[in-house]
Amino acid sequence: MANPGLKRLGDLLVDEGVLSPQKLEEALKTQRASGKRLGEVLQELELVVESQILDALANQLGVQKIDLGSTPPDPEIAALVDPEVIKRHKALPVKLEGNNLIVAMVDPLNLMAIDDIRLATGYDVKPYICSEKALDMRFQELFGVSHEASQHLDEWRKEMMKDGNTIKELLKKTATLTELEDAPIVRFVEAILEGAVDQNASDVHLEPKEDKLHVRYRVDGMLYRVMTVPKAAQAAVIARLKILAGLDTSERRRPMDGRIDLKVRNASFDIRFSTLPTMYGEKIVMRLLNKEMAHATLSQLGFEEDELNVWKDIINKPHGIIYLTGPTGSGKSTTLIASLATIANEKINVVTIEDPIEYQLPTINQVQVNRKVDFSFAEALRTILRQDPDVIMVGETRDRETADLAINAALTGHLVFSTLHTNDSAGGLIRLNNMGVERFLIVASVEAMVAQRLLRTLCKNCRKKYELDPHEYDIVKPYLGADRDPAKLKLYRAQGCEMCHNYGYSGRTAVCEILQMTRDIRNMIMANASVQDIKRQARREGMNTLFESGMKKVFKGQTSIEELFRIARPEEDEDSSTSEKAGRALLEELPEELYAA
């Protein structure tokens, strides 16, 4: 948009009243130091959001803005133009309005792009300004590879085929190629990892198929396909990653594990690397751990105030064992680390046994399990008990031996934290008994069982308010309160926009079910009561279920009822006393925008 008659972006935002001159000067100093574009700097400093920049540019240029998050391109319309043209001009056909072709453009003044698209389609082009990030995301969805990654693949193809190499010869050169730091395939792999970091992905999956290689990111617990790589590049991509992980590129028959220490976007990552031989080649999964990211504090996990107060009381007990339960990826380790960071001080010896160590804490002694030398959770715990510990965290109780050692530690004056894989808190008590732990030991040592899940939180930029349908009306009524009318309630649901990569959600929050070991609960365990009976008693004593904890966040507009149902369901076997509890309002106050009293 290099037009001498146009104002510079900073001046434009000041004139529009979006930015103060003082804040602009602050941003310009940061820009000069970083070398980044001003728009990028303004967003990083949280002085403006991208939509404000686009609004200002649209007003100056006399064009309309299009949100590709809420207005997805018609695939048949997008296919009217060669992907190479779309990629080169950063101009994506979206839809037809009569004889006008609506085209989303990063630069709506690019006359060459407009002419190329008009000649290719025969339609009059109506340019709309859009976000470059959103256009790149839509291009990935439509054509399989991001702009940056696609460019690197194109360079790789040209470089490898320029001497008339066959595909077979091309693949033979892969190992040599991947050792060249400026090779296009190297930059392509970097683009995959950078994309994962940009989207806050926890894992990257590379999945070989018959004629292509799929790349998927796990974002906020869900997997999304982000690109499709040509089959010809599969061997080169996998070989490059295996070299980074220090693995033998010629070994493709056995599963292998490795680690990659890498800087991505100026942050240091410890990447856990795993291969699995499949029908169409090696499947790779990478777990990304940001070594520089600070651990979350208890207040940042998302617990409701009453839940947080109960949890703080529990973790400050002088001795006993506290279990967190839930499936892999439910945030158990994060909660434990935040809890230990809360209670750790110079006067006590806190030791953890982890696999892997995800967050490094200076006030805690952290031990890494190493199965290659038979250093298991049980062996580590046995050793730690000779190290004069006050507080011990065992990353996972997997077997009878570990359970017995942890419980004995709790009975000898130590405070012990650990995790179990069960669906709910009451189920954790039965799980210990099924492992072979005697009931009297469970009763004597366990202080609390806490079930936890992670709910995706709605993107605040695009969440959409709506009225409840009859089914949702019936679901929320018991939890809203007898004196409130569900007909007056509105909730939010996911929509999708540029800011959340069209997922509709951004970030996650914890919900929990805290079962404290009261006298009645202990007596029920000794009497070999069922999971349902124990849970029913805990609810009579005031315990909120996972569903009730999540429903509070639905009422607050933090998440959707669809997301809550993904991880929990309302209790179906409530007796009269628990139904009476459920009939009371979960929240004393509801947000004004959601409930018109």
- pLDDT tens digits, residue range 54-66? 888 888 888 899 9
Q: Rg of the chain's alpha carbons, rounded to an integer? A: 28
Q: Which residues, in sequence order, are CB contacts of 219 under 8 Å at separation 6+? A: 199, 200, 201, 202, 501, 503
Mean pLDDT of the 313-340 span: 94
pLDDT of 502 > 70? The answer is yes
pLDDT of residue 182: 42
pLDDT of residue 6: 64
Q: Which residues, in sequence order, are CB contacts of 91 under 8 Å at separation 6+? A: 85, 103, 104, 105, 106, 110, 113, 114, 117, 127
- What is the spatial distance between Cα 77 and Cα 64, in angstroms, rounded to a whole number? 19
pLDDT of residue 5: 57
Mean pLDDT of the 482-491 span: 82
In the 8-state DSSP scheme, what is residue 303? -
What is the chain's length?
Answer: 597
pLDDT tens per residue across span 30-44: 878 777 777 777 877
* pLDDT confidence bin for 321, thresholds 50/70/90: very high
| C-beta neighbour count of 444 within 10 angstroms | 15
CATH class label, 144-290: alpha beta
Query: Where do the DSSP E strands lie in 279-390?
Result: 281-290, 320-325, 350-354, 365-368
Mean pLDDT of the 214-220 span: 92
Per-position b or e across 537-574, b if 16+ CB within 10 A of its CB: bbbeeebbbbbbbbbbbbbebbbbbebbeebbebbeeb
- What is the spatial distance between Cα 360 and Cα 363, in angstroms, rounded to a whole number? 9
Helix 377-384, helix 400-411: angle, nearest 10: 20
pLDDT of 515 > 80? The answer is yes
pLDDT tens per residue across span 418-433: 999 998 999 999 999 9
Q: Which of 288-292, 316-320, 569-573 has the lowest mean pLDDT?
A: 569-573
Q: Which of 146-150, 276-280, 525-529 has the lowest mean pLDDT?
A: 146-150
9-131 classified as CATH 3.30.300.160: yes
* pLDDT confidence bin for 254, thresholds 50/70/90: very high
pLDDT of residue 456: 95
**Comparison of pLDDT for 51 and 388, the residue scoring more:** 388
pLDDT of residue 174: 41
Instruction: Map out the domains of the chain as residue ranges.
Output: 9-131, 144-290, 298-582
Token pair listed for 194: 């950078």
* pLDDT confidence bin for 597, thresholds 50/70/90: low
The amino acid at residue 466 is Y
- What is the spatial distance between Cα 593 and Cα 556, in angstroms, rounded to a whole number? 10
pLDDT tens per residue across span 129-144: 998 888 988 887 777 6
- What is the spatial distance between Cα 212 and Cα 595, in angstroms, rounded to a whole number? 50
Are 322 and 315 in contact, with CB atoms under 8 Å apart? yes
* pLDDT confidence bin for 170, thresholds 50/70/90: very low
pLDDT of 22 > 90? The answer is no
* pLDDT confidence bin for 48, thresholds 50/70/90: confident
298-582 classified as CATH 3.90.650.10: no
**Comparison of pLDDT for 46 and 199, the residue scoring more:** 199
